Amino acid sequence: MNINLKDALKYLLLAAVLIYPLFSFANEYFLHVMVLIMVYMVLAMGLNIVPGFCGLLDLGYVGFYGIGAYTAGLLTIHFGLSFWVIVPLAALNGAIWGILLGAPTLRLTGDYFAIVTFGFSELVVLFLTNEIWLTRGPLGLPGIDPVIIDFSWFSTLINPEWDWYWEFIGPQPYFYLGLFMVALVYVIMGRMEDSRLGRAWFAIREDSIAASSCGINLLTYKVIGFAISAAIGAVAGAFLARWTMFLSPDMFKFWESFLILCMVVLGGLGNFKGSLVGAAILIALGEVLRIILPALNLPTETRFLAYGLIMVLMMRFRPMGFFPSIATQSQKNPILIKLKKELGSS
Amino acid sequence: MNILDIVGINMRFGGLMALADISFNVVKGEILGLIGPNGAGKSTMFNCISGVLKPTSGDMLFETGNRKIRINGYKPEKMTYLGVARTFQNVRLFSALTVLDNVRIGRHCRTRSNFFGAVLRTRSQKEEEQRIVDESINWLKFVGLDKFAFLTAGGLSYGFQRKLEIARSLATDPSLLLLDEPAAGMNPKETKSLVELIHSISDLGITVILIEHDMKLVMGICKRLVVLDHGVMIAQGGPRAIRENPKVIEAYLGRGAADA
């Protein structure tokens, strides 16, 4: 009964969030923040693969976010490609760079790998700033089209008067698109976690020598994890490009990587569901501080102190994050549920 | 018929000769004991066979599919694939994962599904997952841990952790199993059930090489023993001959002990 009530409350809350943007009293700023949270939810889930599942510290995740965003931005401006074509291309580009960076450097362990990823993200920012012929450098990349759903080629075939063409204006459509993106990544993460692939990652995190003696090729599986993580980051970047319609290199500075890593740690390393909460808390906190800090006559950069303080408090009181990953409770696979019943009855 | 021929293996760590010109054979289906005092090079020998270390020189010939192949310098995952499984001297489990997951990871090298299978949940992936679970639970039943399937591996008692490690290595379908001090830290009751387990592994047709300090256990199980001391092979033969070999007594008890 207790659980039912909890579930009911959960679904009620979800339904409330779902229909909220449709009401006339929905605040545009509030919706904007929610979309931002969703972007970071995707980033945090994607990053969780590397430090959470494989146990490798990644300090350069924002590099892939930037690669995805600029891939989407440039493809939109120069080739006018549709958002639905761009997302897979951006993911592919992210994954390619993930493999290019990961294949030689994932042989390194621990701190060395963290330093390499950090250097990579700085390189991405330097490239975006200095290759002016391609990215317009510090001037940024304005004039990216919003997301468009265009079925006019199809509808005019049926009836010349039908024009199935929608341009995304205002935060509402992005809210639902973002929600769709979060749900998609969430499902993919869940399915990867509960598979041969996910188990191989966990084995590497727990004990790499034992993992290789189980027949797991360490380098291959680390590179796969890194590439998938990069691809998810690039998808979030592509969404960002078509949502903000403007990109500049300083949107992908190092502290973004740190922020995403904080979300992952806050939610619980290795538990991608916790990352959702981590993203929501830290973005909401950032917005609150944006209002509070000027009122106190402090510069807005002071908010990094707050993030640091949160990390210190987390390390002291909840070192495993708010939702630590517990192997024994996260199994909803029907095969395992069946097995549990069989073992219980015998 | 030999499953493994070790021919003149040398292993050098800088100036230290950890293994010097070791040669012995492992007969298919036998339980071979590998003994010697601490620091004799037993675990180094295991690391060479299982691919963790690459011997400096010499040959290791492993029989797989009626072919002898030279396995020097093969990676551990390749050796697992060829059919060499091992346990570790200090238990190496995936301790935050469940007992079942530990054994399921052991099935990794015999299964194929990849990222696309996992995300799209294809029928072949689902069938494979079911097979993995069935086989894993069978191995857990084999070592007697099936009732702990959903507990975290790190929470098991030491004796059970040892057994789980054996179950995980069995899940890789080995033809040769290397057990590195499986009875270390076990109480007499656990040791007894371990002996039974090793016999039943042998009954499955799996060749076993056993490193063990518990002489009673080794002498009881193994028909043949290889004795190392300071990286040199000082004797091999049946338990009785080994027990009476003056060199072995000297290695364990010191010079002069053999005469006493």
Neighbours of A188 (CB within 10 A): 19
Cβ <8 Å between B77 and A216: yes
Which residues are CB-contacts of A62 (< 8 A; sequence separation ≥ 6)? A121, A124, A233, A252, A253, A254, A256, A257, A260
Whether residue A26 is contained in a domain is answered as no
Query: Which amino acid, one-letter code, is at A252?
Result: F
CA distances to B138, B184, B222 from B207, in Å: 20, 21, 11
| d(C-alpha B171, C-alpha B23), whole Å | 29
**A327 vs B98, B117, B130: nearest CB:** B98
- Across the strands, what pairs with B17? B12
**DSSP state letter for A302:** G
Q: Do A197 and B92 touch (CB under 8 A)?
A: no
The pLDDT value recorded for residue A326 is 67
- Residue A334: band (very low, low, confident or very high) from pLDDT cuts 50, 70, 90: confident
Do the beta carbons of residue A18 and residue A38 sit within 8 Å?
A: no
Distance CA A287, CA A301 (A): 12
In a domain, A188, yes or no: yes
Number of compact structural domains in chain A: 1
- Chain A residues touching B129 at Cβ < 8 A: 195-196, 333, 335
Q: Residue A44 is part of which domain span?
A: 34-345
Residues in chain B within 8 Å Cβ distance of A199: 97, 101, 104-105, 108
Q: Do A196 and B132 make contact, defined as CB atoms within 8 angstroms?
A: yes
Rounded to 5°, angle at Cα A279 from A275 and A280? 120
From the number of C-beta atoms within 10 Å of its C-beta (0-12, 13-18, 19+), residue A9 rates as exposed
Q: What is the CATH classification number for the domain harbouring A211?
A: 1.10.3470
Q: Tokens for A76, please give them.
A: 């939109």
Fill in the amino acid letter for A272.
F
Residues 6+ apart with CB under 8 A from A264: A44, A47, A48, A51, A52, A275, A278
pLDDT for the residue A164: 75
Residues forming beta bridges with residue B13, ordered by sequence position = B16
Residue contact A202–B77, C-beta within 8 A: no
Q: Which residue of A has its CA nearest to B173?
A: A214
- In this predicted structure, the answer to whether residue A330 has a pLDDT above a threshold of 60 is no
Query: Contact A199/B105, CB-based, under 8 Å?
Result: yes
Interchain proximity B50–A213, CB inside 8 Å? yes
In whole angstroms, give the CA distance from residue B68 to residue A260: 52
Residue of B nearest to A220 (CA): B77
The pair of structure tokens assigned to A223 is 């590179």
Structure tokens at B215: 């002489």
Cα B253 to Cα B37, B83, B227, B242: the distances in Å are 9, 37, 14, 14
d(CA B7, CA B9): 6
pLDDT of residue A319: 79
Does the pLDDT at position B246 exceed 90? no
Note the Cα A101 to chain centre separation in Å: 19
| Residue A90 falls inside a structural domain | yes
Q: How many CB atoms lie within 10 A of CB A237?
A: 32
Query: Largest Cα–Cα distance in chain A?
Result: 70
What is the β-pairing status of strands B16-27 and B2-13?
Answer: antiparallel
Chain B neighbors of A197, CB-CB under 8 A: 113-115, 118
Q: In this structure, is residue A336 part of a structural domain?
A: yes
At which residue do the structure tokens 């468009």 appear? A148
Which of A68-77, A98-107, A151-160, B115-124 is predicted with the least confidence, judged by mean pLDDT? A151-160
- Which residues are within 8 A (CB) of B149 and not within 5 positions of it... i.e. 6 or more apart? A339, A343, B98, B99, B100, B137, B140
This model of the complex carries an ipTM of: 0.91
Is A287 a domain residue? yes
Q: Is residue A91 part of a domain?
A: yes
SS3 of B192-243: the string is HHHHHHHHHHHHCCCEEEEECCCHHHHHHHCCEEEEEECCEEEEEECHHHHH
- Residues B28 and B52: beta-carbon distance below 8 Å: no
The shortest CB-CB distance from A203 to any of B105, B128, B151 is to B105
Backbone angles phi, psi at B87, to 5 degrees: -115, 170
CB contact under 8 A, B88 and A209: yes
Residue A24 class from Cβ within 10 Å (0-12 exposed, 13-18 middle, 19+ buried)? exposed
Name the residue among B115, B81, B232, B188 with its Cα closest to residue A191: B115
Query: Is A1 part of a structural domain of the chain?
Result: no
CB contact under 8 A, B119 and A192: yes
pLDDT, tens digit (0-9, with 9 covering 90-100), for B139-191: 999 999 988 988 899 999 999 999 999 999 999 999 999 999 998 888 889 99
Which band of pLDDT confidence, cut at 50, 70 and 90, is reported for residue A327? low
List pLDDT tens digits, range A1-46: 456 787 888 888 888 888 887 777 778 888 889 999 999 999 999 9
Per DSSP bridges, beta strands B232-237 and B57-64 are unpaired
Band the pLDDT of A219: cuts 50, 70, 90: very high
Q: Has residue A7 been placed in a domain?
A: no
**B238 vs B22: CA distance, rounded Å:** 18
What digits encode the pLDDT tens for the residues B183-199?
888 888 999 999 999 99
pLDDT of residue A1: 47
Mean pLDDT of chain A: 87
- Cβ count within 10 A of residue B237: 16
Q: Work out how many CB contacts closer than 8 A connect A with B.
A: 127
Structure tokens at A197: 């692939």
- Side-chain half-sphere of B8: how many Cα atoms within 13 Å? 3
| A328 — pLDDT class (breaks 50, 70, 90) | low
Mention every residue, 6+ apart, whose C-beta is less than 8 A from residue A191: B118, B119, B121
